[in-house]
A and B are shown apart, each in its own frame.
Chain A
């Protein structure tokens, strides 16, 4: 972990007033010890109590043994971005014990496994030992399950001391274990025993309290990968190909978990989809593009290294005009990079993907609801344009749990695009002097009509290829044919501006400056905007949700004297694309970009913008 960004500890003990629903708990454990379940239970219990809460897993590329951290932020004001300091630490890992303490604010709380026999070098904190081994030993749990439930001790102790509703904890267990009573019972036995032990043996000496909040009933707690997968399921995906890669694997696995039940054919009871684990991402892309060509709603999900491999096939899909949807759950590159950390570094790669002149529609979901919506809408756009649609999520959005609104059922019927089956082709031929060409633009929008394998009309077949071809899909090396076809495809891609989701814009009265961002960083940026406003810097905000840019972005750029483009990469990639697309406004664009693998924090954004605005 990075050096903590906190002020030096106070010399004298600070008397703190009560802090309610506005603090950060970080659990430090050993990877592979089963802490993910315990952390998820805590998070869901807080969510159930109506408290705005987020959970961020900082984990190693490792199966077992290396340190891992899970930070839960409670914010009654709804600020759910990462913060760099901890108010409460649950220390279960002796290897990081001393280091973890550096992040604890003065007056903070330390819960620690009492088998960690180390002196605590801070006198300005409240420390509570937890007899983990003893509680597990004494609880009514079969010996073979003890290792799996030991982390539930801290759930019980923390819940008791911080006043987390044990009923909410119990409900979270039921949701997590999907009603499997044996698992619920053994975990609950430990939690209850630990809570009872804490009630009897620990005296509360810290100021942190959890209190239930009246929250709207209609909220959900879900990770972005599951949300995107559900979106794809309601979008009617028919073939998904993938190769295991962090942080994208859980996307395909969520398809595999939910599709068999949701996507039983109402007529035959059979599955209306296939999920294929390919031999690599070259093949995953090939399978999806073969399926897209043959008329299936086809997709692949991957992350940076796999996305690099898919570049070859996506160029073919662009030029042969094949609809396909690719999800890139971004992690830190270049190369293998930081496989378990988050970034927004694949943007310019996706934008310019492939050799030769290409263009792609890029969707940028910013929250779990947009993951769901883009999950289905991406297919409509891809099939309408007969082109690849790339969806750029990231590890933070994809793998961490986020609060969202209930998913909204697709508000439009599926758009399958310009497809001609037997009767359609017959009618088309009658209406067009007997002429149909696979790549012939008859509507003037650059989008031709396609036929699909299995069409038995004797005029339906054509030979698709990545080599030069004319409007009738015939091989051609003619200079003017090449240029005509490639220019027509560019014209076709212009339709994307009317199909992609518009940016989200929030205005502040009298704001001179604008902040532009995209993807998972919005929570930190909204918090930063409030902090900046408190310093007297009002900001407008535009969150991009897609490329190509649309008129709203043009207007936003025109209307502000200075624009800060905030993103999680080194080079300021969105700023680069904006400067390229809008050279007339390029000098107004300022990059607020960095990448260290961790989710964005409001503090960093405020600091950067304040300095550039001359406030510090």
Chain B
């Protein structure tokens, strides 16, 4: 266990002996007010509150504004900023090296829904255990404001004209690819972002979180669903989310009976979903598909945990791997003994 000297007794230390600052990254180089920065901060808070050991996390990203953000949190975690749209394969290969590590991938709407759609959907269908965050703002920021595949039809931007195409709904794509955890949130709702991140991090399987994260420079028009103003006006949470780690007892009296739905995750933690207007069951795939379609038709920004299946087998379950990380196995466990080669020579010989 790594212990960090704590300079002042007032600094809050979590159960692994770390302070919040141990989860920090480098200063952000994104625009002031960018939704992505808010998300990075919530990742820091969630990891601190979950008592995660940063060395047990590996960060991944593709290319784009979103993909820069893994350097803004968890400095003490390994990370790999790979290729545009190709984060899933990179993460998949890397996480096989040590299946006790937890992956956090940060992608964007261009990275996931355009160039990376294929890898995204295949990662989801394989149910690789990792958190896959899409920081979704509907535009290409680094190349200065072109439409992305999640931009709504009819959206008009200053230099781009009007978008003629239907948008890709990342949550729907994840659902039909058999994702085992699908959530949507809004960077302007930090508390919800944090609770969803905690639940996603405790989920055993792929956890896709589509976070509407406004681009303050190229796309923050009040009438567009990827803006702060629109999000604040149209956000319709499915529930109030409280994440309860496995070690904490749940005091059910905190919640009014009949108003709370519990989902037990694989690691023993629980998501407490307090009913709002909807009586929504996030373990019901049909309900999940319906609520997304309804939101589209009614122009709502539905947020919350849309679908969760805590017990589906993961990709690792399909492989008969030892518990010890593959990347720590010594040569005597990797190179078959000499007599086996002599046997093969006999098989292929005369």
Contact = CB atoms under 8 A, between A and B. Distances in A.
Contact of B336 (A234, A289, A320, A406): A234
A208 interface: no
B285 to A, nearest CB: 23
Given A316-B82, A466-B81, A262 B94 contact: no
Interface string B40-67: 0000000000000111101100000000
B81 A465 contact: yes
A280 B88 CA distance: 13
B76 interface: yes
B93 A219 contact: no
Given A48-B350, A175-B347, A239-B93, A286 B83 contact: yes
Contact of A463 (B79, B97, B336): B79
Interface stretch (B242-250, B271-279, B291-299, B318-326): B318-326
A67 to B, nearest CB: 30
Interface string B301-336: 000000000000000000111111111110111111
Given A278-B89, A316-B82, A460 B340 contact: no
Contacts of B86: 282-283, 286, 312-313
A301 to B, nearest CB: 15
B109 to A, nearest CB: 20
A464 interface: yes
A312 B83 contact: yes
Interface string A265-279: 111101111101011
A198 B267 CA distance: 72
B122 A283 contact: yes
A21 B348 CA distance: 22
A146 interface: no
Contacts of B322: 265, 267-268, 270-272
Given A461-B77, A461-B78, A464-B79, A289 B350 contact: no
B81 A463 contact: yes
Contacts of A407: 341, 344-345
B78 A453 contact: yes
Contacts, number: 220
A296 B97 contact: yes
B93 A466 contact: no
Given A295-B327, A296-B326, A461-B77, A266 B94 contact: no
B141 interface: no
A219 B349 CA distance: 5
B80 A465 contact: yes
Nearest to B78: A453
B55 A463 contact: no
Contacts of B349: 217-221, 406
Contact of B55 (A220, A234, A458): A458
A290 B341 CA distance: 30
A455 interface: yes
Contacts of A236: 331, 334-335
Interface in B13-34: none
29 contacts: A233-B336, A238-B97, A241-B93, A268-B323, A272-B326, A273-B326, A274-B319, A278-B89, A279-B119, A283-B89, A283-B122, A285-B89, A286-B89, A287-B89, A289-B93, A290-B93, A293-B90, A296-B96, A296-B327, A297-B334, A312-B83, A455-B55, A456-B55, A457-B55, A460-B55, A461-B76, A465-B80, A466-B82, A466-B83
Interface of B: 2, 53-56, 58-59, 70-71, 75-83, 86, 88-98, 100-101, 118-119, 122, 319-329, 331-336, 338, 340-342, 344-345, 347-350
